[in-house]
Chain A
Amino acid sequence: MRFHSPALLAFLALVPAGTGAAERLSDAGAALAPVAFAPGGALEARIDAGGDEVLAVHALMRPASTNQLWMRDRDGFWTEWDGDEAALLPSAARREGDDLVYKIFTAPPAGVNAMTITLAYRTPGGLKYGWFDAAERAE
């Protein structure tokens, strides 16, 4: 499966992960604070890279209550990931000081209103990652 979220909803608010300071990823995986986003809205996430040398960033999505697992490429397309770390496609994030701001989607995939997002970046020492649950706010 390969699909792309429509990129024309630029007016929608971007929601950073969590409400406090940016969180950090770890070698063993970090459980990050859950996020709610506006119905049909965009989602970005801010991560504190803590001075790490970041070679590549990765973003994964698991729609709630399914066994599907998708990875986001640089262009915002989502394709299935088979769990092989070596096959992870690089995604996109902008650097703001020590923070990495991951672009996740401008609108959630059709029919998906809740998911688990896994963020990762590769350093010379290996992969650091973490995950959080994201769901549309009830309005």
Chain B
Amino acid sequence: MIFSLPRYARIGFAAALATALLTSCGGSETGSDDGATAAPGTKFTGLVPFPQLESLTRADVQRVIAQAVNEANAQGAPAAIAVVDRVGNVLAVFQMNGAPAALAVIGETARTISQGPLSGTELVGAAGSGLDGLSIGGAAAVGAIAKAVTGAYLSSGGNAFSTRTAGQIVQENFNPEETFQPGGPLFGVQFSQLPCSDLSTRFQSDNGAGTVVGSTVGPRRSPLGLAADPGGLPLYKNGVVVGGVGVIADGVYGFDLRITNIDSDTDMQDELIALAGTAGFEPPSQILASRITVEGNTLRYTDTVDDTDRLRTNPAAAPGFAAILGAQGSLVAITGYYNTPTGAAADVLPGTAYGAPASGYVPATSLPGGGPFQNPNAFVLVNGAGAPRFSPKAAGDAPGGDRAIALKRREVVQMIDEALGVALAGRAQIRQPLNSRIQVTISVVDTNGEVLGVARTPDGPIFGTDVSLQKARTAMFFSSASAARELNAVPGVNKLGVAIPPLSSYVRAARQFIGPNALDGSIAFSDRGNGNLSRPFFPDGVQQTRGGTPSPNGPFSRPFNSPDPTQNWSPFSTGLQFDLIGENILDHVLFILGAGPDTKVGCSGLRPRNGLAFPRPVLANGAQIFAGSVPIYRNGVLIGGLGVSGDGIDQDDMISSLGLRRAGLALGGGLGHAPENIRSDTVVPAQGNGSRLRYVSCPFRPFINSAIQNPCRVL
């Protein structure tokens, strides 16, 4: 597919061409994928360093809590504090005496938080719109767990991200409040790692609720998905991410609307308390979010100028854990997450070491008989017995009614190998030092949503495991012929005061917006194209036209400024993405509170496509609405989806799209991308003011050791 290049890209092209001519290295702007062999520097099969085996000891976890409690006392803000390891095992939940018990997910009055020290803060949503306004008695610690998981899951050896960073990258503009800028690059990531996920595992110690489900290892689910509320930070030892700490002192689980200002001490007690907890477990300073830029914006780690200048205590002088347990608060059980059989200090658990079998992730080469991939860097998921959870396998579906064209195991392996090769040759967006290799997770699914394979680079952020699968399923589902029919069959729900509309409303909106053929299989939707339809403005980030007419919302999004504020978009009420899984989250909250059974394994109210082969909804871990996946076709017939997550969205796009293309070139058999004339970038929505959707977008100068400029041109 040929795009016209903007002027600056042409300059880059000239520079690249000159470099190629001078060095005779064989690179050219389009040369990497014109043939079946990747150009030099665009595929990496050497060996990269694996993360060192590091983990939190019981004493480490106790120290984190003691330091946080000491600061909370000084702040006059008793808190709930949770600590998790890198793969989400909850190691301790400490509830200080006097800490708020209830958790208000967001303010109960439109655009204003109505309780707690943040009272008066402006917000987007309103009670009754998604999770907005939901008040959960006794669940403050649940929010602390979600924050701790977020700090751990978004971080790696190359980047340390906080929940404040998360808040910066999930709002309607990036940066938030910068109108006419596209939405956050990880728009929608908050609804991942969901409690209903069929990938993220459940816990053995579930307080006797009778639903021990899943393997005994990570990655674990998070009770509310990922958090965007400041107060969740990663923990490191010797430069290796080993976990996260999450704090709730204000009873509010919201997000920072004004990322570019500096919060007052009162407004950021959660974060200051968490920051004190991380003393001695800080990330290397050079990998802090504040050293990383995305799309020209510098990310935010915390609102402190440096890490300690606003703390009111010296963490190193904090009393020991034995002195605070009982006197200052207690360890508390959280159903489904953390148990306290004795109530004593021994209930604090040590963490697992990422890369060891107990963590759920191991190098593929360590498997008995060796791994299935040629790339020696592949990591895979294993169960409690050390056996692979998602070994590559052939599809069991019958795309278009023909089992003969289903994906073969050899093709799954090749796609993952090619994607790994592209990733590790690529220049990371979110990692320091500059020119680090990209680290991601890769997932492949068939047309039932069945997982055909999952693998990752050694140090990809954990969140990308679940998200890559969400992306693969989303691209496949929305490209399929039965998508509209299946969505139309999901009725509305009203639970805990949250009104979720019938999903047929989104099908109607899509057909009005795009045309009568929306969601009937005639359009191939990448997640970038689907994401365009899931933003509160179309085109993405553009609030209004030059004439001042408000831009429409995408048909899968809630509107931004509805006269009825209960209909408004917010990060807690995104639209179809939330409405697919909202009931699962609410069921899970009731389960935690002891008021019902746990949510089932497999998200959404969609019926399984073929319950015999895959007895779960096709979007079994929810949908994802930011870029990084493509549907897979064979001779024009949809046969699956390929998803990538863990670095910048352009990088994720490049890896998924080149991974598929290269596998098709290597193996033939009709395997490849959708025909050009059905891709989402051929669609100009009727209500879209002339703007078209996108398909994939690669980064400029994407490779470390190649001058190639725009590898997506060859798709």
Contact = CB atoms under 8 A, between A and B. Distances in A.
Interface of A: 28-29, 31, 34, 36, 60, 62-69, 81-85, 110-111, 113-114, 116, 118, 120, 127, 129-131, 133, 135-139
Nearest to B446: A83
Interface in B538-559: none
Contacts of A64: 198, 201-202, 213-215, 601
Interface stretch (B172-180, B257-265, B380-388, B527-535): B380-388
Given A65-B201, A66-B383, A82-B396, A129 B211 contact: no
A26 B214 CA distance: 27
B132 interface: no
A85 B208 CA distance: 38
Nearest to A65: B214
A62 to B, nearest CB: 7
Contact of B212 (A66, A68, A131, A137): A137
B615 A118 contact: yes
Given A60-B612, A66-B383, A118-B615, 11 more contacts: A63-B215, A65-B214, A66-B390, A81-B396, A85-B612, A114-B202, A120-B612, A127-B612, A131-B615, A135-B213, A137-B212
B210 A67 contact: no
Given A64-B215, A67-B451, A83-B397, A133 B600 contact: yes
B380 to A, nearest CB: 12
A78 B393 CA distance: 17
B15 interface: no
A123 to B, nearest CB: 15
Q: Name the 9 nearest CB pairs between A and B, nearest first.
A: A83-B396, A29-B611, A111-B385, A131-B615, A114-B213, A67-B451, A83-B613, A65-B214, A66-B389
Contacts of A31: 611
B653 interface: no
Given A64-B601, A65-B215, A67-B393, A36 B612 contact: no
Contacts of B612: 29, 60, 83, 85, 118, 120, 127, 129
B615 A116 contact: yes
Contacts of B607: 29
Nearest to B613: A83
Contacts, number: 105
A36 B211 contact: yes
Nearest to A30: B611
B608 interface: yes
Contacts of A129: 611-612
Contact of B611 (A82, A130, A139): A130
B206 interface: yes
Nearest to B392: A67
A129 B210 CA distance: 26
Given A129-B611, A136-B212, A138-B209, A110 B385 contact: yes
B90 to A, nearest CB: 16
Interface string B611-623: 1110110000000
Contacts of B397: 83
A135 B215 CA distance: 11
Interface string B353-397: 000000000000000000000000000000111010111011111
Contacts of A135: 210-213
Given A65-B383, A65-B389, A82-B396, A29 B608 contact: yes
A62 B615 contact: yes
A135 B601 CA distance: 11
A130 B612 CA distance: 8
Contact of B214 (A28, A114, A139): A114
Interface in B577-630: 597, 600-601, 607-608, 610-613, 615-616
B56 interface: no
A54 to B, nearest CB: 17
